[in-house]
Structures are given as structure tokens and as C-alpha cells.
Amino acid sequence: MQGGAMYALERGLNMRWLGLLFAFFGSFASFGIGCATQVNAIATVCNENLHIPPAAIGIAVAVLTALVIFGGIKSIATVCERLVPFMAFFYVIGCLIILGINFDFIVPAVKTICKLAFTPGAAAGGLVGRGIMMAMQYGIARGLFSNESGMGSAPIAAAAAQTRNPVRQALVSSTGTFWDTVVVCLMTGLVLVTSIMKNPSIDMGNITDGGVLTTLAFQQIPVLGPVILVVGIISFAYSTVLGWTYYGERCVEYFRKKGLIPYRVLYIVIAAIAPVISLNLVWTVADILNALMAIPNLIAVLLLSNVIVKETKKYINDLDARMIHRSK
């Protein structure tokens, strides 16, 4: 089954033109958020820890991606369902070990984060000149990149789920933001801040790549630290690469069904060259495409909010009624 913001715009609001716009931006956004940035992250962590040339990583990821995506949705689903639990387990365990090592710095780190975020002095300093615009730009962009909330990507995958009620699937999908941002990103943030506070030798002035900083943090775990990081990042990033091929294919299929093969070929080419492209260029293009994809979806969410509220209330009321009936 197919779905997503483009179908909501067409069938719910009779705005096929806006649905086509979403599909167009979504197909191109997949090259940024789903492919180039992810392959770049894999190349960085492998180069830092395993000393493998980025170009070789790009070619390897491109070949593996080609083998999977030409197998179709079942192939993508099979690989992802095996990778996701594996990657989550490894990465979370690694973060917990580091937080245990840096235990004495957890409370000071939280205090420092809150102080710098909410004190008038910090805010006033950040608002000088173009500060507020830059803060909003990077804050919104990274938040969007973190959990994709508002982009309209998750409904594309949710529509393919086998469920008795769409509201039930929507409620399940909504938990993704919590696990992604509140749990994983929070743990990552605490790992980085506590590691910086514990190890004054980490020179933030010379570190421009988040992958390098994460590598330094995980090196606190003897022997296994780099292994956990490499396995975790590769699994996270590669499953994202595969997942976004599905999003992109559904968008391409919406406005041009014969465009799947060219899309897949272009996706593989971008995966191959991503590690050797300027990181700043990759992030800038990804942020722009994410915003363009989010705008049509947010219009659909806003204009269909009454329908969403109505269907959600109906589902919850029916659920309550069934529970009361069973208790009698």
C-alpha cells in the first residue's frame, strides 16, 4: 500500500499540484538527508578509527546499496529489521558505558547545558547581530534532521504497514521522535559534554567534525570503544540510506512511475561520491531540501488537523468502549 503527504494533499485537500511538489522535493531530499550525509558519516568514522580511505568507503556503500535496493521493498525491510535492533543495542550500550566512566560529570554537564541555554547572558550574547537567525537556522535544521518531524517522510513508511486502523499506526509512528531525540540524542549529547569536561586535552577549537569528537569520546572505552562506535554508526547510517531509498522511490513513483531505475542509479552514484564531497556543501544542500519537503507536508497537517483530531478521538473512544466491555 502507498501513502504519504502527497496522497493526503491530493485526496484530502484536492491539491494534487501540491502533492506533486512534495513528491518532487521529497525525491531530491532523499539524496541529502538519506544518502550523502549518511555515507559521509560512515566514511568519517571508518577513516578515523580504521584508517580506510573515504573514497573506498563510498564505493563499498554504493555497491552494497545497489544489491539491496534492486531487490525491492522486501529486501529493504529484511535488511533494516535486522540492522535496527542490532545497531540500537550496540550504540546504547556504548553510551551507557561512557556515562558510567564519566559518572561524576553527568550532573555538572546537565547544569552547564541548562545554564548556557537559559541564562539571560547567554541568550543576550546569542542575539547579537545575526545570532538569532543563525540559532534558529541551525536549531530547526538539526532538529528536523534528528527526527524528521514535520517532513512527511514517516507516513510514507507507515502507509506500507499492515494494521487494522490508521490511527493505531500513527500513534506507534509518533513514538519514533521520543526514542530518536529524547533517548538517543540526549545520551549522545551527555556523552560528548561529559567527555569534554572530563578530558581537558580535547581541543574543541581544532575539531570541526562531529564524527571526530564522537570518536574521541568512545576512545575512553579500552579496545572495544572504537568497535562499538564504528558498528553503531555504520548500522544507523546504512539503515537510513536504505530506508530513504524507499521514501524517494515512492515520491518518484507518484509523479513518474517510469523514473525508478534512473532514480536508483543516481542514488547509488551519490552514495559513491558522497565521502569526497565537501561536508559543508552536503549539509547545506540537505538542509535546504529538507525545508522544501517540509513546507507542503506542514500545509497538509495544518489543514487536515480537524480530521486528525476527529479520527484520533473516535479511535480512543472505541478503544475505551472495548476495554469497558471486556471488564464486565
DSSP 3-66: -SHHHIIIIIHS-HHHHHHHHHHHHHHIIIIIIIHHHHHHHHHHHHHH---HHHHHHHHHHHHH
For residue 156, give the nearest of 220, 251, 88 by alpha carbon: 251
Average pLDDT, integer, range 64-90: 74
* Alpha-carbon span 212 to 44, nearest angstrom: 8
pLDDT at 268 over 90: yes
Burial class (CB in 10 A: 0-12, 13-18, 19+), 58: buried
| pTM (2 d.p.) | 0.82
- What's the one-letter identity of residue 26? G
Give the pLDDT score at 325.
Answer: 65
Is 264 in contact with 48 (CB distance < 8 Å)?
no
pLDDT band at 86 (very low <50, low <70, confident <90, very high): confident
Pull the grid cell for residue 152. 512527511
Average pLDDT, the chain: 83
- 38-50 pLDDT, tens digit per residue, is 998 899 888 888 8
Is 30 in contact with 267 (CB distance < 8 Å)?
yes
Provide DSSP, 218-252.
HTTSTTHHHHHHHHHHHHHHHHHHHHHHHHHHHHH
Is 235 in contact with 38 (CB distance < 8 Å)?
no
Give the pLDDT score at 6.
Answer: 92
Pull the grid cell for residue 327. 471488564
pLDDT at 74 over 80: no
pLDDT at 30 over 80: yes
